[in-house]
Chains A and B, each alone.
Chain A
């Protein structure tokens, strides 16, 4: 039968050293600063094949803009949802697909509230109707955050919401938006 005896008392040094505590801090620093530093040291950009459809997730595909790279840190394909993050230089082009039971207006309200829920972000201008080459109907608008501008678009189809957000400095956006718009128009649902 097991017992805790006085011999079970600790045999560690009786005066815990400052060194042990500093070692503890080093371990924590390795986790909170070392891992992110290692992450930054490894490139996140992957080339995508020009003109070929890319599977975002949940059966939704898109043809990325020419010259775009895939940022794997913001890309998570899945069976019932997914995200893809493309970069055109400093411009960020993100597509998020997730299950949704509401209509297009509700989806647009939800996306706008998420955008304005981020400190410093404001929706600008009016919302316009858009459609893709495959017939998906959507709404698009713009937003600003300090010296950065942005564009959003949202589509609803097959029990999914497809949200597109584009952000970058105004000058870069002006240069890349035509290619991104062309890419957005290629969004389509192929089925899982």
Chain B
């Protein structure tokens, strides 16, 4: 009892306890809500102007970029598989990026670019204005979104990965709204009236070619820094602040590199040169950030899998399932294997079992005394799997057919994208 009390004193915060009803009792939440409302008003004014001038192009842009958000959202959800963040906070993060960070960045970036022209020269602003002004204001405005989540729901940010999840959703919200603004800007610049072609070109270029190494990625890195700042209580404050600043700098530097005029002319103007520039300026930050995100994910997964391993109960989780549960690709492989072995019902049951195991692991880390309900849930899905003749949710043997299919799909997607871009004159 005294041990429990002592633990409770040392670790007063329990993840996942903040519910919307609790949020409304916090004055800080209302401040954040007012900021979101102000951003919504500002962006609605811009959208209304777009709809009035270019209704078809604007609706097309809303539809296309809205769809683009879906795969990114699912990727982030899969990253967040083990310890799910509350949907309300994910929406706040997305809305911050799309409403607050964008409405702050529009006047802020313009002003900073003007200052570069005034204090430097118009030539400097032409070459480096967009590369320096945009990232400086935008990365700060987006990172403040993760800080806002910490301010209103600190107990939900309990690993570096949580910072990554919130940061990437802030970035995703920003990316989608910025892309819509750029698409309508392209329509206006083309001077062809309410034409959807510039929207489609912008969608292909900014959505596909540039979308992978964009705000979602930068936001994830800055968010990781905030996550580290919040959770690494065994480190000194200086170290935590320095790491958060370094992550923000990394996001800023990746963004600057992407916007910079470097290599703009060095590789010619052909399609291959364009691809080379995209890969050269986008790939290094992409690989670095994905590596860091993977590490954050694996560290969190190790912790939660260790909670389940401590039960030493193969009815709850087997050795093979522990290996699968800790990785997104292995979880997916286990579901595919179940489908191959025992049909789609087994695939769905494996997914439900994995979810139940994750919920149990989280509950064990928070309040083991309340974990019985989750134990029952796991056993129920285990019984269903056994009845289906597939008792263990593990990966099957490596399937070359799956690898070949993935490579083939990617190749076809790139080819279709390239043909579409060439047809539209974008390449």
Is B32's beta carbon under 8 Å from chain A? yes
Which secondary structure dominates where chain B touches chain A?
helix
Contact (Cβ within 8 A) B13 A10: yes
Contact (Cβ within 8 A) B190 A110: yes
Q: Which residue of A lies closest to B125 (CB)?
A: A76
Is B11's beta carbon under 8 Å from chain A? yes
Contact (Cβ within 8 A) A28 B35: yes
What string of 1s and 0s marks CB contacts (under 8 Å) between B144-157 and chain A? 10011011101101
Docked Cα-Cα span, A39 to B109, in Å, equals 11
Docked Cα-Cα span, A33 to B137, in Å, equals 12
Contact (Cβ within 8 A) B114 A44: yes
Residue in A42, A110, A113 whose CB lies within 8 Å of B118: A42
Is A179's beta carbon under 8 Å from chain B? no
Residue in A12, A24, A31, A72 whose CB lies within 8 Å of B117: A72
Docked Cα-Cα span, A36 to B104, in Å, equals 11
Residue in A4, A12, A21, A111 whose CB lies within 8 Å of B32: A21
What string of 1s and 0s marks CB contacts (under 8 Å) between B138-182 and chain A? 001100100110111011011110000000000000000000000
The interface on chain B, measured as residues whose beta carbon lies within 8 A of the other chain's beta carbons, has a size of 72
Contact (Cβ within 8 A) A1 B302: yes
Docked Cα-Cα span, A67 to B54, in Å, equals 39
Contact (Cβ within 8 A) B122 A4: no
Contact (Cβ within 8 A) A9 B158: yes
Is B234's beta carbon under 8 Å from chain A? yes
What string of 1s and 0s marks CB contacts (under 8 Å) between A93-134 and chain B? 000000000000000011111100111000000000000000
Is B303's beta carbon under 8 Å from chain A? yes
Minimum CB–CB distance for B422 against chain A, Å = 15
* With contact pairs A16-B152, A32-B107 given, residues A72 and B112 touching in the complex (Cβ less than 8 Å): no
The residues of B with any CB-CB pair to A shorter than 8 Å are: 7, 10-13, 15, 26-29, 31-32, 35, 49, 52-54, 100, 103-105, 107-108, 110-112, 114-115, 117-119, 121-123, 125-127, 129, 137, 140-141, 144, 147-148, 150-152, 154-155, 157-160, 188-193, 230-234, 265, 295, 299-300, 302-303, 306, 365
